[in-house]
Structure 1
C-alpha cells in the first residue's frame, strides 16, 4: 500500500482554481477574487509555519479571518463583507480538497463567515424626490427624456436595468388606458405588472411626442427602445445612472444617491403611506418578503425619530 502524497498548499490551491475554471466554468472575476483571497490564506499559513495541507487546523482558518479583520502595519483591516468572502473561498477550497482526496479532513467546516451588519436601504425624503424630479429642463429633448426616466423610476419602483430595457410598445398602450399595468422584466426575466401613475404617463407622453423623435433621427438604424442616447441607440444602465446623479446634483441633494435611490424611495414612501408589505413586495418584484421587510425597518427608524423629536416625554 502506497503512502498518500500530500501536495503543497500552493499546488492544492492551483488545482482548486483549475477546477473552478475548467469543471465549474466560473467567471474570470470569481476565479480572480478567489485566487487573491487564497493567496492571502497561503501567506498566512506559511507565516504560521504551516506548509502541509494535513497540518491545517480550524484555529488557522479562524486566525486568518481575525487577521483580515484587524489588518496590519501595511494594510487596513477589511470590512466584514470582504472577510466573509475570503472565508467562503477558504471553506470551498478545503471542501474541494477533501472531495478530491487530497486530504481527509476539512479544517474549515466549522468556521463560519463573520455576520455582516444589516444594511438598511437609503431612501430620499419626499421633498428631495420632488426636487430631483423637477431638476431636468423639460423644454429640451434631453430634459424630456431625463424627466420621463426619473418619473418611471420613482413612479413604478423599477430597477434602472428594467427601465432602460423598456420599448415604446411597452408603454404606448398604458398611455391610452390608465387601468393597464406596465410590464417590467426583472431578474431572470421574471415579469411583473405595475401601475403607471399620471405623472409618469404625462412625462413619458411628452417625451414620446417632443423628445424621442430628436434622438431617433440620429440613429443609423431606428430601434424599439423607449429611452435613447445621443446616437439614437438604447440608453445604457451607466448613462441612466449618470442622469440620476446629474439630477441629484442639480437638486443639491446631499451625498450621492445610489443606483436604487428612487426604487428605495418608492418602497419606503408606499410603506409610510400605509401600503401592505406584501403589496410592496409584488410591486418591487422581490422573490421573498424578507427582502421587502428591510424597508419596514427604515420606516420604523423614521417613526422613532419623529417620536423622539415630537413627544414631550420621549427623552
Structure 2
C-alpha cells in the first residue's frame, strides 16, 4: 500500500475522531500508533487497497501481532482500533464491505487495578518534600506537586483532566471542580479539605511567583517553570520520580492515584453509582472492578457483619 495514501486516509479518520468524537490527545496518539502497526502489516502482507483487506486478513493480522510478541491487552486494543477504523472506512464509502466482524474470539484478561495503601499515599506526598529539599529545588515545586497529588487522589481525576484545569474551574466554597472528560463530556468532581488547603497554598503564594516574569493572564491552574500549562507528560514524569524516591513500585503513575481513590471510596462504603459518577464512567461495569477489596478489609467486614463470624457479644 502506498504510504502517502494510507497517511492521507488515516489522518482524515484521526481528525474526525478528534473534532467530531471529541477523543482526547492521549487516545488519538494511541490510535495513531495502532494504525502505524496496521500499515506495517499491510506492507508485509502485500495489501495495496483497503478493499483487499478481508476476513482472512483479519486472522492473519491477529496472528502476526501475536507472533510479534505484542501483549494480549495490546492486541485487543489494536483489534478495537482496527474495527473502528474499517467501520469508518465503510461509512465513508472507501470500502463496500466491512471485513472486521463484530465479535472476534479474543478477550482482554481482566486484571485488578494496582492501588496504593493510605500509608503509601502519605509516603508519596512526603517524598515530594524530601526530593525537592535534597535537590535544593524552589518551594514552588513542592507546593505545586503536593497540590497535584492531593487533588488527583482526593478527586479521582484523570491526569489529562487535571492538566487541563483552569483557575476558574475550582470552586472552593462547594469543594468541587468542573472537568471535561472522555468523549468531551462535562462532569463535576469533588475534593476534600486536604486538597483544598494544598490548592489554596499553591494558588495564593506560589502560583503568582511562577507568573512573575510571564503572562499574568495565563489561566492554567498548574504551571511549568516557563509560566505555561504543565503538560501531562511532565506530571507523569514527576510522579514516577517521587514514587521511586519513596521506595514504591515502578508501576506507580498518576492513574494509580485514581485507582486508589476509587478503591478507598468503595472500601469506605461508597455507593458504586456515586463512584461511577465521580470517575466519569459511562457504564457501571467499568466501575465494577473496584468492588474488589483487600484481604484485611474483607476479613474486617466479615467479622463485623456475619452472624456466624464467631464473635460473642461479650468479646466486642
Q: Structure 2-normalised TM-score?
A: 0.70
Aligned to 2:108: 116
Q: RMSD value over aligned CA atoms?
A: 4.1
Q: Find the aligned partners of 2:225 and 2:49 in 1 and give their Cα distance.
A: 59
Q: Is the 8 A contact 1:65 1:87 kept in 2?
A: no
Note if 1:276 corresponds to 2:277: no
Question: What is the CA distance between 1:155 and its match in structure 2?
Answer: 0.8
* Residues 95 and 282 of structure 1, relative CA distance in 2, 3 Å threshold: closer
Aligned residue for 2:179, secondary structure, equals strand
Aligned to 2:148: 149
Note if 1:243 corresponds to 2:244: no
Aligned residue for 2:115, secondary structure, equals coil
Q: Find the aligned partners of 2:236 and 2:51 in 1 and give their Cα distance.
A: 50
Aligned to 2:124: 132
Q: Find the aligned partners of 1:244 and 1:45 in 2 and give their Cα distance.
A: 44
Question: What is the CA distance between 1:156 and its match in structure 2?
Answer: 1.0
Question: What is the CA distance between 1:107 and its match in structure 2?
Answer: 6.6
Question: What is the CA distance between 1:271 and its match in structure 2?
Answer: 0.5
Aligned residue for 1:293, secondary structure, equals helix
Q: Is the 8 A contact 1:16 1:96 kept in 2?
A: no
- Which residues of structure 2 form unaligned runs of 5+? 18-27, 134-138, 304-316
Q: Is the 8 A contact 1:167 1:224 kept in 2?
A: yes
Pair member with larger Rg: 1
Mapping 1:158-237, distance limit 5 Å: 158-171=157-170, 173-174=171-172, 177=173, 179-237=174-232
Question: What is the CA distance between 1:60 and its match in structure 2?
Answer: 6.2
Q: Find the aligned partners of 2:197 and 2:289 in 1 and give their Cα distance.
A: 32
Note if 1:66 corresponds to 2:58: no
Q: Find the aligned partners of 2:146 and 2:54 in 1 and give their Cα distance.
A: 59
Question: What is the CA distance between 1:252 and its match in structure 2?
Answer: 1.4
Q: Which moved more, 1:16-25 or 1:199-208?
A: 16-25
Aligned residue for 1:238, secondary structure, equals helix
* Residues 184 and 82 of structure 1, relative CA distance in 2, 3 Å threshold: closer
Note if 1:79 corresponds to 2:71: yes
Q: Is the 8 A contact 1:16 1:93 kept in 2?
A: no
Q: Is the 8 A contact 1:17 1:31 kept in 2?
A: no
Q: Structure 1-normalised TM-score?
A: 0.71
Question: What is the CA distance between 1:272 and its match in structure 2?
Answer: 1.0
Aligned counterpart in structure 1 of residue 288 of structure 2, from 279, 290, 293: 293
Q: Is the 8 A contact 1:156 1:195 kept in 2?
A: yes
Mapping 1:253-272, distance limit 5 Å: 253-272=248-267
Question: What is the CA distance between 1:275 and its match in structure 2?
Answer: 0.9
